[in-house]
Structure 1
Amino acid sequence: MTPLELAPPPTIDDAIAACRTRIDSIDTDLLALIVKRVECATEIGRLKRRGGLPVYHPARERAIVANLCARARGALRDDHVASIWGALFTASRELQGAPSVAFLGPAGTFTEAAARQYFGDAVRTDARDTLDGVFTALSQGETDFAVVPIENSTEGTVTRTVDLLAHHAPPITGEIEQTVVHCLLSAGGSLEGVDCVLGHEQALAQCRTWLDTHAPHLQRIAVSSNGAAARQAAEQAHCAAIAGEPAALRYQLLIVARAIQDDPNNRTRFLVLGGPSPEPTGDDRTSLSFTPNDGTDELAHLFGVLAQRQIGMLWLAVRPGRAPGSPYRYFADLSGHAHDARVRAALDDLAPALSGLRVLGAYPRGRLNDAACAPSPGH
């Protein structure tokens, strides 16, 4: 090139190529760091197993992501950070030995979807035929965790879950809140030749108005879960099923109608059972069970203590005693963590007046469509 000749200005293609070269270099560095991170996580898993400690620690994952979200300072949205590190957590869990989670099966239920939402797709799912079987699997050490429905916004408390909580008393360590969108499914994609609709009793109730209006001729048959309904409809062409879209895909059914639930905001809250007790996050829930002593003012005392301590009651359920004349048992969720000073003081105040007062768990509150950054039925 002579002194009078000038180098051509860089083109857009040149600029893109230069950026890609930098990205390739950054990716190489990232991969090396990710490998080191996974190696550390795998070693932690080995040490925990040697010490007899639970490997999966969801509170630690939430704390990591919450800290990273705060440090991102807007360069990435919180859900981006949660998604990236969620993939890292999933890989680490697989190499550590993914936890097993029992749920009301078969595959394709909303409960399975909730379990995967909470634990990630690397989790080893353990489908059980009944809620009783789910609790038994956890109590006998056949699974690390369990996910069970506790409350639906349309039909209220899942009473069988409450009774099993009283009987087995597993630790409650988390919760998931999930939007529930019911579909009507059939093998042929229509109701031609169909004479009955299968679904969990709560699902049938949640879709009562739609069925009364659009399919009054169908016999309604309650089965153990919506997954079981979908599986049976796949085997028997004269049956339709109420279930979610994942069940349609799994059992190769066609969707006759979407979103047939009567309440468009229909949602279910699930409990995570088993594992270590989470530390306070600042947005927590404490679950209690108790039996009021004889008298008339125990519940008034309960509400008075909560009002005095400015503690909200998030949920209350009442179940009758099994034996004739035996007292009712109450279940309540309070706002706050059992280790918080206000909640701890309230429990101390309540203990003398409430016989059999028991803390079932204190754990981060679940939020609908939760990102992992946030302190984190037979459907």
Structure 2
Amino acid sequence: MTDQNDNISLVSLRDQIDEIDQQIGDLISARAQCAIKVAEVKKRESGGQPINFYRPEREAQVLRKAMERNQGPLSDEEFARLFREIMSACLALENPIKVAYLGPEGTYTQQAALKHFGHSAVAVALSAIDEVFREVESGAAQYGVVPVENSSEGVVSHTLDNFVNSNVKICGEVVLRIHHHLLVSDVTKTDSISRIYSHSQSLGQCRKWLDSHFPKAERVAVSSNAEAARRVKGEWNSAAIAGQMAAELYGLTSYAQNIEDQPDNSTRFLIIGTEGVGPSNADKTSIVVSTRNEPGALYHLLEPFHQHNIDLTRVETRPSASGTWNYVFFIDFKGHADDEQVKSALAEVSANASDIKILGSYPIGVL
């Protein structure tokens, strides 16, 4: 039985929480008012030119500072997520951001878009990676979100290939931990599952689990995990591999959770736009390079990065459209294109390459 002292303590704590909530509310309102004033100043100083209200480097700096100030008990990432949503809502007061992503609704790409831009962004689902690139290039959306690589299944080739002939720039990145669930509907007979739908990459990421638990079930690759969830809704003998967002969207339940073979399974997504991004003091640069077909070409391409002490984070090879057995190299490295050592390295790379294209410099993913 709870004694009087416990009751007094609980009431006191609740009063303290109410007081803190009032302070938080007042401060959020003050921040929103400040955001409106920022928009007014930008409009006044723009001279009638288009205004870029969203600055990726500035947001990355704010989120990093928030994490540095965190004193717990919330994790740094949870603390930053709260700031992310406040910033998203305040930015919407200035100018709502329209973001195109690889759909349909309920995909991990939508989850990545909301993680990066917050829930106040206007997110638009498109059916193909090519369409996301075109939507951004045409100006119909300010930004796009596309998958580029998975820690288990490797690179998303279609995304890389689109960069070769596109003028969009990489403006940011977001890494999403991928947790796959086996989803069923209210009419599914779980002892009679003979067909499992999912995207081909997800089927690959859950291969061992499927071999162990459903070795005889047909594995059907579809365009997205959300499409897999949609198909299961009315079928009694099927299940889908998808995430929690798809489960909620299509009213499915988890028959088994976290069935991915690798516990640290993650997918990296790129944010694409049309504007360059300034330095944030913790940046990454992506380039695509064509080399001459000659001995030592790759060595001469990579040597300047070593000489200038630049950390390469990824090197990917893709066939070139210019001819058989010719290749282009997609290279990610730490640093911003405006950094002096990066400028020097890229100048030397250019001297040994037949073509080089800077896809973008952008903040290293914070969330």
- Smaller-chain TM-score bracket: 0.7 to 0.9
* Separation in structure 1 between the aligned mates of residue 23 and residue 159 of structure 2, nearest angstrom: 50
The question of whether the paired residues in 2 share the 8 Å contact of 1:286 and 1:337 is answered with yes
| Structure number with larger C-alpha Rg | 1
Q: Which amino acid aligns with 2:302?
A: F
Number of the residue aligned with 1:287: 286
- Structure 2: stretches of 5+ with no match in the other structure: 1-7
Q: CA deviation at 1:159?
A: 0.7
Number of the residue aligned with 1:138: 136
Percent of aligned pairs sharing the same letter: 32
Number of the residue aligned with 1:104: 102
Structural mapping, 1:28-47, within 5 Å: 30=27, 33-44=30-41, 46=43
The question of whether the paired residues in 2 share the 8 Å contact of 1:179 and 1:268 is answered with yes
Q: CA deviation at 1:32?
A: 6.2
The question of whether the paired residues in 1 share the 8 Å contact of 2:58 and 2:280 is answered with no
- Report the TM-score when normalising by structure 2: 0.87
* Separation in structure 1 between the aligned mates of residue 103 and residue 15 of structure 2, nearest angstrom: 52
Number of the residue aligned with 1:341: 340
Q: CA deviation at 1:34?
A: 3.5
Q: Which amino acid aligns with 2:93?
A: L
Q: Does 1:239 pair with 2:238?
A: yes
Residues 18, 260 of structure 1: alpha-carbon distance in 2 compared, 3 angstrom cutoff:
closer
Q: CA deviation at 1:21?
A: 10
Deviations 1:61-113 (A, max 9, x none): 2323445665x585997557635543431221222232111111111111111
* Separation in structure 2 between the aligned mates of residue 207 and residue 18 of structure 1, nearest angstrom: 48
Q: Which amino acid aligns with 1:132?
A: D
- Structure 1: stretches of 5+ with no match in the other structure: 1-10, 371-379
Number of the residue aligned with 1:377: none
Q: Does 1:203 pair with 2:206?
A: no
* Separation in structure 2 between the aligned mates of residue 258 and residue 18 of structure 1, nearest angstrom: 39
Q: CA deviation at 1:249?
A: 0.7
Q: CA deviation at 1:214?
A: 0.7
* Separation in structure 1 between the aligned mates of residue 38 and residue 342 of structure 2, nearest angstrom: 34
Number of the residue aligned with 2:5: none
* Separation in structure 2 between the aligned mates of residue 73 and residue 267 of structure 1, nearest angstrom: 25
Residues 285, 183 of structure 1: alpha-carbon distance in 2 compared, 3 angstrom cutoff:
same
Structural mapping, 1:135-284, within 5 Å: 135-188=133-186, 191-284=190-283
- Report the TM-score when normalising by structure 1: 0.84
For 1:330, what is the secondary structure of its paired residue?
strand
* Separation in structure 1 between the aligned mates of residue 59 and residue 117 of structure 2, nearest angstrom: 11
* Separation in structure 1 between the aligned mates of residue 21 and residue 268 of structure 2, nearest angstrom: 44
Number of the residue aligned with 2:4: none
Q: CA deviation at 1:20?
A: 8.5
Structural mapping, 1:84-99, within 5 Å: 84-99=82-97
The question of whether the paired residues in 1 share the 8 Å contact of 2:70 and 2:79 is answered with no
Q: CA deviation at 1:195?
A: 2.3
Structural mapping, 1:356-367, within 5 Å: 356-366=355-365
